[in-house]
Structure 1
Amino acid sequence: MSFVAIQPRLVSINMLNLVSDIFSRYCLMVLLILGTIGLTLNTLIFTRRTFRQNSCVHYFLASTIANYFVVFFILPSRILSDGYDIDPGQYNLPYCRLRFYTYFTAKSLSSWFIVLACFDRKMSSSQSVHSRAFARPIISRWMIAITTLIGLLFYAYVPVFYVIDSSHNCGARAGFYSLFDDSVYLVGYSLAPPLLMLIFGIWTIGNTRRLRRIVPRGRRLSPLNKRDHTLMLMLFLQVTLITITTVPHAVQKLYSTLTLNVPKDDFTKAAENVFIIVVRTVSFINHSCTFYILTLSGKMFRQELYKITRKFMCKLGRQAIRTDHQLRTLTQTVKFTTSNPQLQRKQQLKKRNT
């Protein structure tokens, strides 16, 4: 009877392990491909002349650059370690610390740049001239530089706290350090950015409504233009995506730390492992799929994408015409040479003389 009872449990554990492998190998690989395409197109669009003098777009571009580190460094290392058990961090301490330092700083900076974009929209929609002066490209460049420096310093504890334990796992030191690490990740990546985005978003909506009112002297305050409304919609959808994808992973990390010393059977361990890998995979969606969210939400974004695509296709067409013309010219030259015996004899004499 005990054997009969154990069999279904083993089958369930094997199924859970299979789900873990699918997410670790194939889902992360799909996100890597989508991220490569999306981030490249994001960069091409955000650096176009149309957006070059828009301070909010500068924050989008900075977030895209931070996502490059996530997609091209963190994602491949996760695919190798979780999907194929190839993890240099199990025996190489400098790599272990560099990997997690990059992991925390890149993911957090990506979200904090969107917080700055929300604050930029809040200031640009203000009635105060001094507040609107904040939404300038020169200010955005300084804010990006300062925020990057703060982010690099904020996670400076990682190279100190992270070690390789006796089980060859790379992570924070056991005890207080591990709890501190998970709490910082929860607050600095999953709670504070979405909360600030929500506050600034509500503030922006209030400012926008006040801009539509008529002031006492009969003048109407100039409303936000279409570009500003499009950026606000794009921002709102990205904030929603960040909130949905970041909170579960941070909560899972904190839960794993708090229940580290709790006895668990094989089935519970397999179930928790699936949950860890699923929420971790979901957290990467925020960094890989922003392009597709922006394309769906922003008409102006789609128009710039269409211009880039049309320019690229025209360039390919001109190159194909040029190549075809060169081939025709070469073919006609060969035909003329072969059909002219005197020219052939002259070429043969030249070869002999040389």
Structure 2
Amino acid sequence: MILYSVFFLGLSVVMSLQFEISDYTVSLQRAEKYLFQYGGLILIVLGSIGCLLSWIVFSKKTLRKNSCSIYMMAFHIANFTYIITLILPSVLSIGYGMTFITSTLGLCRFSIYMAFALDIISPTCLVLASIDRILVTSPNALTRQKSTFRLAFRSIICATLFWILFHSHSLILMHVIQIALSTFICYTQSAVYLVVISYYSLLKNILIPTLLAGLGLLAVRNIRKIGHNRVVPDATTMGTVNDRGLQSIHSKDRQLVRILLIDIGIYVICVYPQTAINLYQQITQYDTKSFDQTQAEVSIQYLCSFCGFIPYCIGFYSNLIVSKTFRNEVKNIFLCK
């Protein structure tokens, strides 16, 4: 959770000033710093380049004819914005000790607001793309016709506007709070608001990966049905328009389905550790804990947060592995074709 990460960062600083730090704790803190210093920098550089190249690939003429490419373009635009507005400040703060979001109240509220909104907009694009793949791989011709460019644009615009308005509460209820002599955090002063957004974040981290996994399985089921229809055609319908349509779908869209499935798989794998630690923190929030135990939880929280950054940064490189069409388009970009 975003607020947990911010709070634990401030709590770690305060407790390190009040308690004697053990060698174990010092090692954990050093590991956190190096992870974000070097690993975080690599994610930012590779992720930014990958998002821009992915957007260019999906905007190419050969791919933009497919409605799924519209969703994937929006997905990578959201990922690039997420990298700049959330991952970069986190790396600067944890890895390099350069915390600037608490310098002004406006920047504090804007940073938390963008973190809330982008954290859900990006997976929402995957959800919409999954629904599109389910429609286009359906054996029913009428269902396939529901996948259109107009629906793609409308869905992305409506979903983005909804989440932008839904998270506007953070522009009002977040404050810069001083927790030590020279330590400030961007947090909320309302206990009720904290409980609400904590459970909302936990619920979101459970439902979104589960929904994506379910939609991905439905798309795979449709593809298998199409493959079965191609291999074992019915003699009474062989050569009909519907059968030719199924073959065309399988050949045309399987590359995009592969890309989508690998993006879903990476997102689900990387988000569930964050969900697990958030659930643990909710259960044990009233337990008495030693400083070393608290610091261990902080370290695990940072590690899970770092894992949660990965899906936003490596989509381009996983697409290169699973899709021949994607590789060819990237090659054409570098060859200026």
With the shorter chain as reference, the TM-score category is 0.7 to 0.9
Q: How much does 1:261 deviate? A: 4.4
* Residue of structure 2 in register with 1:218 after alignment: 237
Q: How far 1:305 sits from its partner (Å)?
A: 0.8
In the alignment, which of 26, 30, 40 is matched to residue 28 of structure 1?
40
1:59 aligned residue: 71
1:154 matched residue in structure 2? 166
The aligned residue for residue 141 of structure 1 is 153
Q: How does 1:314-353 map to 2 (within 5 A)?
A: none
Deviations 1:26-63 (A, max 9, x none): 21111111112111211111111111111111111100
CA contact (8 A) 2:110 2:171 kept: yes
Structure 1 gap segments, 5+ residues each: 1-8, 313-354
Does 1:177 pair with 2:196?
A: no
Counterpart in the other structure of 1:340: none
Q: Which deviations, in whole Å up to 9, do the C-alpha atoms of 1:215-265 show, x marking residues without a partner?
A: 573236223233311111111111110111112224434544554443322
Q: Offset at 1:134?
A: 2.1
The alignment's TM-score, normalised by the length of structure 1, stands at: 0.80
1:328 corresponding residue in structure 2: none
Matched to 1:55, the amino acid is: S
2:125/2:156 contact within 8 Å kept: yes
Q: Is 1:295 aligned to residue 320 of structure 2?
A: yes
Distance 2:273 2:116 in 1: 16
Report the AA paired with residue 186 of structure 1.
L
Supply the distance in 1 between the matched residues of 2:103 and 2:327 (Cα, whole angstroms). 46
> 1:51-98 CA distances to partner (integer Å, 9 max, x unpaired)?
111111111110001011111221221122212332233342221111
Alignment of 1:128-277 (within 5 A): 128-167=140-179, 168-173=184-189, 175-188=191-204, 190-211=205-226, 212-213=228-229, 214-215=233-234, 217-219=236-238, 221=243, 222-223=246-247, 224-256=249-281, 258-277=283-302
Q: Which has the higher contact order (CA 8 A, sep 6+)?
A: 2
Q: Aligned partners of 1:31 and 1:69: how far apart in 2?
A: 14
Task: Output one character per residue of 1:118-156: Cα deviation in whole Å (capped at 9) or x when no partner.
Answer: 110100011333321221212111111111111112222
Q: SS of 2:93's equivalent?
A: helix
1:103 aligns with 2:128: no
Q: Which residue of 1 aligns with 2:14?
A: none
Contact 2:137 2:250 in 1 (8 A): no
* Correspondence 1:84 to 2:93: no
SS of match in other structure, 1:51: helix
Identity %: 23
Distance in 1, matches of 2:114 and 2:280, equals 23
Partner amino acid, structure 1, of 2:263: Q
* Residues in 2 aligned to 1:130 and 1:157: alpha-carbon distance in whole angstroms: 41
| Contact 1:23–1:277 under 8 Å retained in 2 | no
Which amino acid in 1 is paired with 2:217? I
Contact 1:46/1:61 (CA < 8 Å) preserved in 2?
yes
Letter in 1 for 2:309: F
Q: Distance in 1 between matches of 2:111 and 2:154?
A: 27
Aligned-partner Cα distance in 1 for 2:294–2:192: 23
Could you say which residue in structure 2 is the equivalent of 1:14? 26
SS of the residue aligned with 2:146? coil
CA contact (8 A) 1:186 1:251 kept: no
Displacement over 6 Å in runs of 4+: none
Distance 1:258 1:171 in 2: 21
Unaligned runs of 5+ in 2: 1-20
AA aligned to 1:198 is A
TM-aligned CA distance change 1:252 to 1:163, over 3 Å: farther
Say if 2:216 and 2:264, in contact at 8 Å, map to a contact too: no
Question: Residues 276-300 of structure 1: CA distance to partner in whole angstroms, max 9, x if unpaired?
Answer: 1111111111101110111111111
Offset at 1:24? 2.4
Q: 1:241 to 1:186 in 2, by over 3 A?
A: same
Aligned length: 304
- Which of 84, 87, 104 is the aligned partner of 1:75? 87
Counterpart of 1:178 in structure 2: which amino acid?
L
CA distance, structure 1, for counterparts of residue 148 and residue 24 of structure 2: 57
CA distance in 2, matches of 1:227, 1:282: 33
